[in-house]
Amino acid sequence: GKEMSYELRRSIEHANQISKTSAEKSRELVQALLQLDKVKPDVAYRIANIMPRTRDEVRAVFGRDKFSHTPEELDAIIDLVISHFR
């Protein structure tokens, strides 16, 4: 029965405020992203953390990935993000 420290309470409060979705929905999003071609686990987790909404944001998550992604592939990722954000 120890009381939480001020820093821990503030950290939890901050995490709750910036959280965009639940942990369960994030895991579902990662699983859905892994079903797409060219999406590796590390990138899927980054997408779930950042929740990009534009093609440029998705490209930034991929960084210097050796694959080039078509607009359709980028849109599929955005559609998955939006569908799991609700």
Residue 16, in any domain of the structure: no
pLDDT at 66: 67
50 pLDDT exceeds 70?
yes
Tokens 């979705």 sit at which residue? 21
pLDDT at 2: 78
For range 19-44, the mean pLDDT: 89
* CATH number of the domain enclosing 62: 1.10.150.80
Task: Show Cβ contacts of residue 81 under 8 Å, excluding neighbours closer than 6 positions.
Answer: 29, 47, 51, 52, 53
pLDDT at 22: 78
20 pLDDT exceeds 80?
no
Give the structural domain span for 42: 21-85
Residue 6, in any domain of the structure: no
70 membership: H or E segment, kind and range = none
Tokens coding 66: 């050796």
34 pLDDT exceeds 90?
yes
Given 3-state DSSP classes, what are the helix, strand and coil percentages for the chain, each rounded to the nearest 5?
Answer: 65, 0, 35
Structural domains counted in the chain? 1
Which of the pair, 49 or 32, is modelled with greater confidence? 32
Residue 15, in any domain of the structure: no
Residue 53, in any domain of the structure: yes
For range 57-64, the mean pLDDT: 89
